[in-house]
Structure 1
Amino acid sequence: MTPALLLGVLGVVYGDIGTSPLYAMRASLLHFASDGVEPWETLGILSLIIWSLILTVTVKYIAIVMRADNKGEGGILALMTLAQRQIRGERARGIVVMVGIAGACLFFADGIITPAISVLSAIEGLKVISPAFEEAVVPLSVAILAGLFVVQFRGTARIGAVFGPICALWFATIGLLGLIETVQNPQVLAALSPHYAIHFAAEYHLAAFVAMGSVVLAVTGGEALYADMGHFGRRPIRLAWNFFVLPSLALSYMGQGALLLQNPDALENPFYLLAPDWLRLPLVFLAAAATVIASQSMISGAYTIARQCVQLGFLPRLSVKHTSETEEGQIYMPQVNAMLLIGVLILTVSFKNSDALAAAYGLAVTGTFVCTSILAILVFRRQFHWSLPLVTAIFVPLLLLDMIFFIANVLKIPHGGYVPLILGSVLFVLMTTWQRGRQLLFARFRQDSLPLKSFIARLPQSRTIRIPGIAVFMTGQADYVPGALLHNLKHNKVLHERVLFVTVLNEDEPQVAPDRRREVSELAPGIHRILIRYGFQESPNIPRELQSLGEFGVAFEPMQASYFLGREQLVAAVVPKMSRWRQYIYGAMSRNAVPATEFFRIPSDRVVELGVRVAI
């Protein structure tokens, strides 16, 4: 626990939720601004925001959900794997997987919307200084966002080191501005009582329910705290929230409320109007920097979730670049970065202002909240053995609050809420198609392949010519003969003197202990089966693992090894088990996957690829 680590947490984890004061208060009160905002309405909305921060972030995520880590790794998919371990039936496990995939898809949608709305809301501060800047808002936002994604290759640690001090200055500034206004108008402190939130909801009924769709903007970024846990650990994230971030946010909202009680016309932009005239332009620049940081928390979380999806079999192979020599969780994924950049720029140019994007923002966030709560109920009931009354008392109110947030945002689908719905649905189809395609592919391999035991038993009678060298056959089915070997025997009529059948197993844990990494068994003289296990937080390196086989008595010379890989060409079966459009999608994803040589770090000049037609 060092100051540098805490600054890194501020710069990477808390940027998203830290910039919510730019737009959350204004967006929530705009529903009631047609005939002027009354003091009790301001206090009611303020009370809803404060208590949403306490219940959703402090209680749900910081105090409870972050306990459910998968050996240090957080996020919706880590929670899903924990929940799966507690479920016995295949159907129930399938439902848990679907909930996890849905939450991950909505998280990706959130990762596209967050940078756009955050940067736009900051640059819009220029309009408070002078209306002449209005035309410059979108071009400036596009330039800032493009610059942010371009520097991602430098890594989370370096970016956090730069962003951390800026974010610390941001929280200190917004907290101080809020404190000054609160001291001048202390009556705003009454909003700390939940009475005002309850009174507001009782008075407005449906309108208050609709307003909850904007109140949730104050807690966006809560899921990022959990997803980024693998980057920094639980303790620094908790300390930063409890003793610095939450007090600063609460003071900022209280200050905006105090300003509105005194001057309801400040609803034009209560955040920037908190500052004196001379400070507004510097505050715009600081806010722009802070919103870039806000985007970083979602981008880092998206990398984490994407790698977990690849290792758990929900996405094809993607490039993973490690950006830290000491922290395994700090990674950069070029394809994910490019897709996020394209989506963010399209949204920025299409919606043009933060008010329009606010409607699109909430649905993705609240959908992920609901999925997390559902999975957390299973984990805390079955893995942590919480009693049923305790689980009910804690999670039912939290799930109810999440459902209120979610349904309130469903009402905004015609006004922009369709964006995360479309993005999430497309990703859901892609992930489920890839998962189903892999299942059918492996089932077909098992049906058509020769069991490995039968092959080894027949080998002495086959009089197969053995030639010098090492043949490494990569196979996903450890108990069956790889198709590449059968094709090699069929066409070349030879078998190498030493043969290694290598199977990579992806475990549902972040990292695999060194003593469980490799498992070696001798099947026949010169023929070995090697199982290599990786966690979903790790990236495979096959040559490095094979060079470590000396401890098992298996000598490996890299320059004598040839790697045989099968390249599957999918064709439709007579009775297809997957619809044509899904086959097309699966084929396109398979063709665009990162080559096995790059993903497994196999030297490309030592590889032999053999094509195989597979009917599914």
Structure 2
Amino acid sequence: MGAHNKQSLAVVTLSAIGVVYGDIGTSPLYTLRECLAGDWGIGVSQASVFGFLSLIFWLLTTVVSIKYLIFVLRADDAGEGGILTLMSLAGRNLDSRFMTLVVLMGLIGGSFFYGDGVITPAISVMSAIEGLEIVAPSLDTYIVPLSIAILTLLFVIQRKGTGSIGKLFAPVMMIWFLTLAVLGARSIIDYPQVLQALNPYWAFNFFVKYKLISFFALGAAVLSVTGAEALYADMGHFSCKAIRIAWFVVVLPSLLLNYFGQGALLLQHPETIKNPFFLLAPEWALIPLLLLSAFATVIASQAVISGVFSLTRHAVRLGYLPPMRIIYTSDMESGQIYIPAINWMLYFAVLVVIASFKSSSNLAAAYGIVVTGTMALTSVLFCIVAAKNWHWNRWAVSLLLALLLLIDIPLFSANLIKIFAGGWLPICIGAAFLIVMTTWRSERFNVIRRLSEHGNSLQAMIASLEKNPPVRVPGTAVYLSRVVNVIPTALLHNMKHNKVLHERVVLLTIRTEDVPYVANVQRVTIEQLSPSFWQVVARYGWRETPNMEGIFHRCAVEGLNCRMMETSFFMSHEALIVGPRPWLLRLRGKLFLALARNALRSPDLFEVPPNRVIELGTQMDI
């Protein structure tokens, strides 16, 4: 049994290396180059190289090893992580007056992740393909077309699922990290003095020597920790123990060896600043390294794209995005999903980014703002969870928050100067998704409130129908109702126009609970309201997809037998019209109408056979 557990942990740890650490694992391709050859003109010297290496070492230690690995990974919801999960946890024991602020922070963090999802694939793949300049300088004109071709292939195969492809992720990334370690170690052996940069003195000396420039140069050093949020977002696929073991045993040592190896190379040969990563390798290994880098960056991009899919599903199930088609590409792993609308939206955004910025150095200027912004929001939300949910000592939590923000706020502030150099792009992408999420949530709530305002009592209506029944027809009618104890709009219209009622009427409400999963024994609650009326409430977690066959199965277990082919589903369809509003709210209403027209319809969302559905429409001003 012990041997089996060890083997399982080893397999899970290897898988974590392939999925969780793809983004941060490809940062050595461009980070040190951007630190020293960026817009600041710091150049290669012992003070600058040692200073940046010391900053990178302590950022990896404090941000990743301590903040995320030790603290943030504790905040899981049934094993699930991510900024929206943290938002949900933070809001459970919070006063309602602070709830809006917590939701806003969570939505801003989630929106920022969409910006990251556009930049990461572009900068990762381009930085790998730029190795062509070292192999054959004459091929530099092919960097952009090759990057576009590789990413096009990546987005096209998303619909096939990552199950079979994912089996290659772990071995390839393991080879990648071992290659990072070997290349770095070779260079460190030639110049071991570079290890002096482990001393935090060099980080402080860097700030003293370069003064104001050193503060803004933090915006380049932060490239070394981009991808840290993936540790938390992907924890639902792996155990915390596996993620921690993978980091401390494989990933962190490999990254440090490579960064310090690049530093040693630069101090001996300053001219290698044009691409210190590839120039670490002997000439015979350049082409294999180029191919391995391309594979590694594709895997890093895949991990980010999958993270965007997971975030979108979470937002849809919590009601912050309209229902959309979600395809499950694996029968075994619920996390392997494909969302066509988001996939192609990301693809076209990535194409525009690559065609506009044309190099990874230019993209680096756009990178960092949304990442550091999400890090700061994560710190605040985590400390709220620690204080309110876990009842940690308030003084200890306040001290922890101060220490975390002491790192996050300078990193975010240092990146703000990038806004005019390209940082506006991920911010605009995040702002667009934030507007969409807040618009859908608030306008949909208003529509549901309007539909529930007809004032008739459900109990009174049922009593009246039982006392003076209309014409009864055989079979079961299911009326979907968004709110319990409210007369479904479809029922009102059916009685008004058809003046008939089925022998058995089920009022069905499907709820998304603020948890990832709901146990099957808690799935369905049934209440008999009268001899022929039943109220059914089906509960699902935000990682689950409602399924009408599954609901009927649980109803049968609870004593209410329904057969799909003997049941008619009555659903309401609202034809919405934007009424008189101020111009800004009118634009918001138009956006909501566009989202509603393109949202997945209820029969498709709940997997109801189309030939069993009857839709009754109504027109409504919003």
- Contact 1:46–1:253 at 8 Å: present in 2 too? yes
Q: Within 2, Cα distance between the matches of 1:7 and 1:352?
A: 34
SS in 1 for 2:231: helix
Matched, 1:390 2:396: yes
CA shift for structure 1 position 38: 1.3
Q: 1:64 and 2:46 equivalent?
A: no
Which 10-residue stretch deviates more, 566-575 or 251-260? 566-575
SS at match of 1:562: strand
Q: Deviations over 1:84-135 (max 9, x none)?
A: 012122x310110000000000011101110000000000010012221111
In 2: Cα distance, 1:322 partner to 1:35 partner: 49
CA contact (8 A) 1:127 1:134 kept: yes
- How far did 1:614 drift? 2.2
C-alpha contact (below 8 Å) 1:561/1:606 kept by paired residues: yes
8 Å contact from structure 1 (residues 12, 164) kept in 2: yes
Q: Answer with 387-396 or 269-278: which moved more.
A: 387-396
| 1:293 Cα deviation from its structure 2 partner | 0.8
Query: CA-to-partner distance for each residue in 1:279-318, whole Å, 9 max, x for gaps?
Result: 1111111101100011012111111111110011100002
Deviation per residue, 1:130-159 (Å, 9 max, x gap) = 221111001100111011112223334433
Partner of residue 21 from structure 2, selected from 9, 14, 36: 14
Contact kept, 8 Å, 1:7 with 1:160, in 2: the verdict is: no
Q: Which residue of 1 aligns with 2:56?
A: 49
- Within the candidate set 596, 599, 602, 1:593 is matched to 599
Structure 2 residue 328 is matched with structure 1 residue 330: no
Partner of 2:4: none
| Aligned with residue 108 of structure 2, among 102, 105, 127 | 102
Would you say 1:506 and 2:512 are equivalent positions? yes
| Matched ranges for 1:465-480 at <5 A | 465-480=471-486
Q: Which residue of 2 aligns with 1:208?
A: 214
- Verify the 8 A CA contact 1:228 1:304 in the aligned structure 2: no
Structure 1 residues 35, 62: CA separation in 2 closer, same or farther (over 3 Å shift)?
A: closer
Look up the SS of the partner of 2:452 in the other structure. Answer: helix
How far is the alpha carbon of 1:8 from its aligned partner?
2.3
Q: Judging changes above 3 Å, is the alpha-carbon distance between structure 1 residues 577 and 277 closer, same or farther for their aligned structure 2 residues? A: closer
Is 1:173 the equivalent of 2:191?
no
2: CA distance, partners of 1:396 / 1:156: 40
Match of 1:555 among 548, 561, 565: 561
Q: CA deviation at 1:34?
A: 4.0
Q: Does 1:5 align with 2:12?
A: yes
**Corresponding residue of 2:261:** 255
Say if 1:576 and 1:565 are closer, same or farther in 2 by CA, change over 3 A: farther
Deviation track 1:353-394 (CA, whole Å, cap 9, x = no partner) reads 001111111112111111111111101111122212322333
User: 2: distance between equivalents of 1:562 and 1:606?
Assistant: 5
1:114 is matched with: 120
CA displacement at 1:526 relative to structure 2: 2.1
Distance 1:243 1:299 in 2: 26
Supply the distance in 1 between the matched residues of 2:43 and 2:123 (Cα, whole angstroms): 26
1:344 aligns with 2:350: yes
User: C-alpha displacement at 1:556, in angstroms?
Assistant: 0.8
Q: State the secondary structure of the residue aligned to 1:319.
A: coil
- SS, match of residue 72 in structure 1: coil
Secondary structure in 2 matching 1:247: helix
Q: Which amino acid aligns with 1:594?
A: L
Read off the aligned partner of 2:500 and give its amino acid letter. V
Please tell me the root mean square deviation across aligned C-alpha atoms, in Å. Answer: 1.6
Judge conservation of contact 1:12–1:300 (CA < 8 Å) in 2: no
Deviation at 1:575, TM superposition (A): 6.7
- Compared with structure 1, are the counterparts of its residues 575 and 329 closer, same or farther at alpha carbon in structure 2 (3 Å cutoff)? same
Tell me the TM-score normalized by structure 2.
0.96
Contiguous gaps of at least 5 residues in structure 2 = 1-7
Q: How far is the alpha carbon of 1:462 from its aligned partner? A: 3.4
Q: Which residue of 1 aligns with 2:587?
A: 581
The 8 Å contact of residues 108 and 434 in structure 2, kept in 1 or not, is answered as yes
For residue 620 of structure 2, what is the aligned residue in structure 1?
A: 614
Paired with 1:465 and 1:142, the residues of 2 have a C-alpha distance of 64
Moved more, 547-556 or 593-602: 547-556
Assess if the C-alpha contact under 8 Å between 1:17 and 1:222 holds in 2. yes
The worse-fitting range, judged by mean Cα deviation, of 338-347 and 547-556 is 547-556
Q: Is the 8 A contact 1:9 1:160 kept in 2?
A: no
1:533/1:35 Cα in 2 relative to 1: closer, same or farther (>3 Å)?
A: closer
Q: CA–CA distance in 1 between the matches of 2:241 and 2:152?
A: 33
Matching residue of 2:545: 539
**Equivalent runs, 1:269-348 vs 2, <5 Å:** 269-348=275-354
Q: Could you tell me which amino acid in structure 2 is paired with residue 126 of structure 1?
A: L
| Native 8 Å contact 2:22 2:303 kept in 1 | yes
Q: CA deviation at 1:320?
A: 1.8
Aligned residue for 1:239?
245
- Aligned-residue identity in percent: 45
Which of 165, 169, 185 lines up with 1:159 in the alignment?
165
- Asked if 1:434 is matched to 2:440, the reply is yes
1:452-495 per-residue CA deviation (whole Å, 9 max, x = no partner) reads 22211221343311110111111101111111111111111101
2:93 is equivalent to residue 86 of structure 1: yes
Aligned partners of 1:231 and 1:330 also within 8 Å:
no
Distance in 1 (CA, whole Å) between partners of 2:198 and 2:392 is 31
Shift, 1:444, TM fit? 0.8
Check whether the contact 1:449–1:481 (CA below 8 A) recurs between aligned residues: no
**What secondary structure is seen at the aligned counterpart in 2 of 1:447?**
coil
Residue in structure 2 matched with residue 421 of structure 1 by the alignment = 427
| Pairwise CA distance, 1:13 | 1.3
Alpha-carbon distance in 2 for matches of 1:312, 1:181: 50
**Secondary structure at 1:324 match in 2:** coil
Q: Distance in 2 between matches of 1:382 and 1:162?
A: 42
Partner of 2:575, secondary structure, is strand
Asked whether the 8 Å contact 2:47–2:205 carries over to 1, the reply is no
Distance in 2 between the 1:614 and 1:84 partners? 33
Letter in 2 for 1:301: G
Q: Which residue of 2 aligns with 1:25?
A: 32
Q: Structure 2 CA distance, aligned partners of 1:263 and 1:20?
A: 21
TM-score, with length taken from structure 1: 0.97
1:522 aligned partner: 528
| 1:577 CA drift (Å) | 12
Deviation digits for residues 150-199 of structure 1 (CA, Å, limit 9, x no counterpart)? 22233344332112111111100011100111121111111111111111
For 1:413, give the aligned amino acid: I
Match of 2:406 among 400, 407, 414: 400
User: Which residue identity does 2:56 align to in structure 1?
Assistant: I
Which residue in 1 is equivalent to 2:415? 409
Aligned to 1:455, which of 461, 475, 482? 461
Answer whether contact 1:120 1:137 (CA < 8 A) is retained: yes
Amino acid at match of 1:84: G
Is 1:373 paired with 2:379? yes
Task: Find out whether 1:353 has 2:345 as its counterpart.
Answer: no
